[in-house]
Amino acid sequence: MLNSYKGYLNFLFFVLVFFILSRINFINLKFLYYFGHLFTLICFLVSFLYVISRPVKSNFICAFTLLFLYSFFLVYRNNLPVVNVFQTLITLKFLFVYFAMAYAIKYNKSDFLADFTKMLTGILLTSVIFVFSDYLLPNVLFTLAQDGRGLMGISPGSLFSSRVLYSGFLLLFSILLLSFKFDKEKGKYFIYKPSVYYGLLTLALILVILTFSRKELLLLLIVYGITFLYKSEGRARIFSVISVVVLTPAILYFLWMMLGDSIQGNFNEDYVRYKIFYYAVEIFEYYFPIGSGPGTYGTLMSKFYTGVYSYFEVDKAIIGYGSQIEGPIFDLFFVSLIAEYGVGFIFVLWFIFQPFFAKKDVSVKSVIHIGLLRFNLGIMLIGIGFMVPIMGNIVGLLLFFLLGIVTSRTSQSELKLQCKNV
């Protein structure tokens, strides 16, 4: 099953289906959520077997080993449980999904991208039905946000049961479509006729607006502007620059009129994300320059090691009021790196962003603008990563899966990790 790209794609499809089923309100299928961890584990094993069987991957091993040694040092230096070192592996888990898709199997990647796009399109079209159900039968099938944001106080999360995940998916889908090249001979944008192509982009934009997800909507508009400039040539590019300059104030004014009250209401000391940032900076300053260590702040293993939360008297509003750590502390990811790894978070981020600079696949390069795709996905990862744990959710999985597809398998340095530069 997993000796071809269709096997991995089918596996990913079932991961998405099981994730959706786990979010349904009236049946208890939450255990299906963990099926995604099985997919990640398989990708890790495939990557591991591939790396050890090919000496040319030694640079990757070297850099990853150094990162693990740094994690061991933090665990030893801060007297943490030894098991906490595995938080680094959990933090970087989607890199193994990327690695498996990029290098571990042989296939025509343009075909893989076409089938991946069709799968995402099917999910998008199906999600429309459940957007209507969110409005007509709120909180019956899927739980909705209770902050009153959105039309009639409803911000649809559709199949994802979360406006954050749904808007993230829509942003990812739009970025993928915007990277398509137009084939004049076939009269298509990769696999879609212009009418279908622009219809899907319009639908995704409307759905993002309906979610009232501020950062995703802003990021999508930025992506549109970048794409507009990137694809323009000659005089058209000059016109594009002028258009962006002229329209930007109007767009920002429109966004402020639509979301200004919500934004103003959040910028105060009671805002949960403000508190998460505040404590992260406190921890960073206290442990400077090395950090509090993996699995201590805002990451999975900090649910079991709560010493840092206790020492800094982290507000219950962000770690949860129950006996377990289940609060919105896990709503931020990259900020957790600053607290846990200190200045070492720069190296961790450098490691995470290596897929954006890997060798481009020739067959994919002929049908999409890979540079544009990676740039926009990078903006997405940074923009969302500081506000949402994208490295641990379903949208992050899709993002790194896609990055693997557009990377050339023939690269001899895989992630271009040079041990001598570490």
Q: In this structure, which amino acid lies at residue 45?
A: L
The kind and range of the H/E element at 188 are strand 188-189
Domain ranges of the chain: 5-269+345-421, 272-344
Question: Which pLDDT tens digit goes with each residue over 367-418?
Answer: 999 999 999 999 999 888 877 888 888 999 999 999 999 988 765 444 444 4
Render the burial of 178-202: b for 16+ CB within 10 Å, e for the rest. Answer: bbbeeeeeeebbbbbeeeebeebbe
- The stretches of 322-369 forming alpha helices (DSSP H) are 334-341, 345-352, 362-365
Residues 6+ apart with CB under 8 A from 49: none
322: DSSP letter = S
- Give this prediction's pTM: 0.85
The CA distance from 198 to 217, in Å, is 18
Residues 6+ apart with CB under 8 A from 330: 298, 299, 300, 389, 392
Size of the chain, expressed as the number of residues it contains: 422
Here the tokens at position 231 are: 């694809």
- In this predicted structure, what is the pLDDT of residue 23? 83
What do you get for the CA distance between the two ends of the chain, in Å? 38
Here the tokens at position 178 are: 């915007």
User: What SS3 class is residue 180?
Assistant: strand
- In this predicted structure, what is the pLDDT of residue 418? 40
- In this predicted structure, what is the pLDDT of residue 271? 62
User: What SS3 class is residue 296?
Assistant: coil
- In this predicted structure, what is the pLDDT of residue 256? 56
Peptide bond into 289 cis (omega under 30): yes
Kindly give the parts of the chain with pLDDT less than 50.
56, 267-269, 412-422
Q: How far is CA 84 from the centre of its chain?
A: 23
